[in-house]
């Protein structure tokens, strides 16, 4: 895939999520972000991956009451 490397996307999203969910470890957040990132396989949305993944993980964490 072109564009921003996946590890950079994960680092950026984990950083933002860690601010919103300070009680959760960055390792836990990274696992959630990686799992969600891999679910997006359409290269046409590549530029929007950080936002899409962050929103999906945020929704998951809120539902799980973190």
Q: Please say if the pLDDT value at position 20 is more than 50.
A: yes
User: Considering only CA atoms, which of 65, 61, 54 is closest in space to residue 12?
Assistant: 54
What pLDDT is recorded for position 25?
97
Question: Model pTM?
Answer: 0.78
Residue 12 CA, distance from chain mean position: 8
- Write out pLDDT tens, residues 53-65: 999 999 999 998 7
Mean pLDDT taken over the chain: 90
Determine how many CB atoms are found less than 10 A away from the CB of residue 47. Answer: 10
Q: What is the CATH number of domain 6-63?
A: 1.10.8
What are the extents of the domains in the chain? 6-63
For tokens 């836990």, what's the residue? Answer: 28
**CB-side exposure of 9: number of CA atoms within 13 Å?**
24
Cβ atoms of residues 32 and 57 within 8 Å: yes
């Amino acid at each position: 895939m072109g564009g921003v490397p996946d590890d950079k996307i994960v680092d950026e999203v984990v950083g933002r999520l860690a601010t919103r969910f300070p009680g959760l470890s960055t390792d836990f957040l990274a696992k959630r972000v990686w799992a969600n990132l891999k679910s997006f396989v359409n290269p046409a949305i590549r530029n929007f991956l950080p936002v899409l993944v962050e929103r999906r993980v945020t929704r998951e964490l809120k539902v799980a009451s973190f």
